[in-house]
Structure 1
């Protein structure tokens, strides 16, 4: 299963790079949009492979759990990952200066809160997928999914504490 997760991640970034290349180098904006629209199909393919593997009798492993996390994260953070890649592509290959500012104070805290909200979204999507897979496949072979879900819940809690720390101890401007 881990090979499918790696393949999905590689395919995701190949599609993103192809989209950026076609947008900025080839000036094919409509083609670039088609590439970006392929990213959810990669996620759906990974979900299908996970379900098929478990339905064919495989006992759930950490890799199956990671595939569910990958999908939740990809959906929740997909737009920001594409925006990050877009900014880096323009900076590295088109030699455009970065327009990104270093955030401090309340602006940084609000940004971190928005990122935590994305994490909550990813966790919610992943939780629905965990529940759906366990319901569809049967709970006898999916104990590893429950363990992964609990660890992810703990990570979400830690992320919330870190997020709150930016409100309590705002990041100061460095000279």
Structure 2
């Protein structure tokens, strides 16, 4: 049941996102679209409650609870960022909004990668905390080894993301000549 709910939450996230953006930019109903987008955190709340109810009713702590915690953590760390990123692209594509800024090269890309690392850190902290709460919640009544293994996964993900950000800092990508000209034009239009 928990796996089905995780899948339903993921599908629901994308359905609400697509529906909210379609209402905002294709149907011309920005308030209704925003209201639909604001319903997305309710999916994670339902998943959190069902996970703890499953544990309360004697469910054996397993990989399903670990995946649920990681999913909720990811949504906390990256959910708003994803919605904002897609909203910017939808506004550009369907409503004549400005092209979303990108940071593909140099110091700007390194800064972007470290910002992503802080999001990953937030996601991992939430997931780790939920897993620890689950471990405390079931106490000695069940084997919590799988939940502890998922805590280790969160720490590894933080380390991998830090390595990725560090590579962009140490070895920044150089912009091709035509891309540098486009970035300069974009910076000029923002002034």
TM-score (norm: length of structure 2): 0.83
> Which string of whole-angstrom CA distances, capped at 9 and with x for unpartnered residues, describes residues 83-137 of structure 1?
2322443466x28584343521100000000000000011111122112222223
The 8 Å contact of residues 25 and 95 in structure 2, kept in 1 or not, is answered as no
The question of whether the paired residues in 1 share the 8 Å contact of 2:127 and 2:154 is answered with no
Once the two structures are superposed, the pairs formed by residues 21-170 of structure 1 within 5 Å of their partners are 21-90=22-91, 94=94, 98-139=99-140, 140-170=142-172
Partner of 1:8: 9
Q: Hey, what's the Cα distance between the residues in 2 that align with 1:44 and 1:99?
A: 31
Higher relative contact order (CA 8 A, sep 6+): 1
CA–CA distance in structure 1, aligned partners of residues 49 and 126 of structure 2: 15
1-structure distance, mates of 2:122, 2:163: 17
1:2-55 per-position Cα deviation (integer Å, ceiling 9, x unaligned): 211110000111111111111112222221221111111110100111111122
Larger radius of gyration: 2
Equivalenced residues, count: 174
Shift >6 Å, 4+ stretches? none
RMSD across aligned positions (CA): 1.9
